[in-house]
Amino acid sequence: MENYSAIVLAAGEGSRLRPLTRHRPKPMLPVATRPVLECVFDELLEAGITDLTVVVGYGRERVQSHFGPTYRNVPIRYVTQEKQLGSGHALLQAADAVDGPCLVVNGDQLVDRRIVSDVLAGHDGDATLGLIHRRDVSEYGGVLLDDDGTVDEIVERPRDDRNYLLNAGVYALEPDVFETIRAAEPRAGEHSLTDGLSALLDSGATVTGVVSEGVWVDATYPWDLLALADAAFEHGFADTQVADSARVHETATLVEPVVVAEDCVVGPGAVVGPGTCLGENVTVGANAVVEGSAVDADTRLGPTVSLRDCVTGRGVRIGAGSTVVGGPGDVQIEGTVHRNRRLGAVLADRVTDEGGVTYAPGAVVGSSAVVHAGSTVRGTVAADVEVRG
């Protein structure tokens, strides 16, 4: 399977990751300071992919301006999904970009080269699915295999206790598959790729599954970004790194694993890590403590700030003495309360904290909100509002 093209689906917003996706698509959220999509590209290229077609949609300018026309000397073709009408619809926008068998992969999930290589090596029939063992697949796609390795059934978010494998969102497809996906009936106005593959099964086509030991991690909710960073360190997607342009005071302490990106400043007496990622141009004030947190670019942390299990967007300002006490906490997402999640707080892009603020576990603060000095923040705070007391 030489000279394989890959179609990378990167058009979605990631609504359950709001407010972090208010100004950028999910594939551009950071994993150890690099966009998820960049990690996906690296793994594809290391597995031998020689051509990239990327389906963009929500926030497409952020994707295209970041990567441009090539990545590591591999050409990128961009195809636009004007309306988010499902993964199958997204794939169909790229149908004319390939003229032979192709690999399809989700651009918003951390997937390593072993899964890609296993699918390419094991491709047989009309379609081949990359699968992994996972105890609970109820939030994702489940696949049942026959003894000969052919797919028996594909079930989205299964609720029964059958022995499912998890669909890792890596597919090798023959060109004829596109027409079957196009003909599949939409549900709730969306064309799902897995519905298209189920229709392929029903047509009598040969759909096989390859079980891989590769690493797969998804970020569905804000707290998953912390798990994503942990997985990146654990499995080699990221290593402890301090950029040459970063300035770390001689009395500061960095506790591995940690990433300190370009132009960061870590002040005297500060402690950063373990499990912490500082994006470009982050400032950590004197005697601050940042542990198990993902701090995005251009953020300023004042003196004696304490952050644990915290996720910030870009351009956040946290004043002196503010505290994120850390998880677990209860987090409300789209009207549903998720209990006991590892999340101290989410502070979205351009939040301003005037100092002396305490964040209860699970607090979520929307973009450009202002939290006045001495406040206590609980629950969800909408974008562009002020919090007092």
| CATH homologous superfamily of 238-387 | Hexapeptide repeat proteins (2.160.10.10)
Cα–Cα distances in angstroms (integers) from residue 292 to residues 56, 159, 323, in the given order: 31, 33, 14
Q: What is the mean pLDDT of residues 314-326?
A: 97
95 pLDDT higher than 90: no
Q: Which residue has the higher pLDDT, 140 or 258?
A: 258
The pLDDT score that the predictor gives to residue 322 is: 98
Q: What is the mean pLDDT of residues 8-21?
A: 90
Least confident of 238-242, 371-375, 376-380: 238-242
Could you please report the per-residue DSSP string of 79-127? EE-SS---HHHHHHTTGGG-SS-EEEEETTEEE-HHHHHHHHHH--SSE
Global pTM reads 0.89
373 pLDDT higher than 90: yes
Question: What's the burial of 257, exposed, middle or buried (CB within 10 Å: 0-12/13-18/19+)?
Answer: buried
Which spans in the chain are helix H? Answer: 36-46, 60-67, 87-92, 113-122, 177-183, 193-202, 224-235
pLDDT in tens, 120-131: 999 988 999 999
The pLDDT score that the predictor gives to residue 2 is: 57
Least confident of 14-23, 166-175, 177-186, 360-369: 177-186
Sheet holding 276-278, edge to edge: 241-242, 258-260, 276-278, 294-295, 310-312, 345-347, 363-365, 380-381
169 pLDDT higher than 50: yes
Residue keyed to tokens 């904290």: 353
Q: What is the mean pLDDT of residues 141-152?
A: 89
- Residue in 383, 384, 346, 382 with CA at minimum distance from that of residue 362: 346
Q: What is the mean pLDDT of residues 237-264?
A: 95
50 pLDDT higher than 70: yes
C-alpha to C-alpha distance for 91 and 160, rounded to whole angstroms? 29
1 pLDDT higher than 60: no
**Half-sphere CA count of 24, side-chain side, radius 13 A:** 20
Q: What is the mean pLDDT of residues 261-267?
A: 97
The pLDDT score that the predictor gives to residue 196 is: 86
C-alpha to C-alpha distance for 140 and 142, rounded to whole angstroms? 7
389 pLDDT higher than 90: no
Cα–Cα distances in angstroms (integers) from residue 31 to residues 104, 110, 278, in the given order: 21, 9, 11
What's the token pair of residue 363?
A: 């607090």
**Half-sphere CA count of 367, side-chain side, radius 13 A:** 12
The pLDDT score that the predictor gives to residue 187 is: 78
What's the token pair of residue 106?
A: 């989700």
Among residues of the chain, what percentage have pLDDT more than 70?
99
The pLDDT score that the predictor gives to residue 136 is: 86
Residue type, 330: D
Q: What is the mean pLDDT of residues 355-367?
A: 96
The pLDDT score that the predictor gives to residue 85 is: 84
Could you please report the per-residue DSSP string of 229-281? HHHHHHHTSS--EE-TT-EE-TT-EE-SSEEE-TT-EE-TT-EE-SSEEE-TT
Average pLDDT, the chain: 91
What's the token pair of residue 246?
A: 């970063």
Nearest 5°: CA angle at 55, between 49 and 57? 155
Q: What is the mean pLDDT of residues 212-221?
A: 90
The pLDDT score that the predictor gives to residue 3 is: 66
CATH among 3.40.50.261, 3.40.50.10330, 3.90.550.10, 3.40.605.10 for 5-218: 3.90.550.10
Task: Give me the residue spans of the domains in the chain.
Answer: 5-218, 238-387
Q: What is the mean pLDDT of residues 48-58?
A: 92
Q: What is the mean pLDDT of residues 13-22?
A: 89
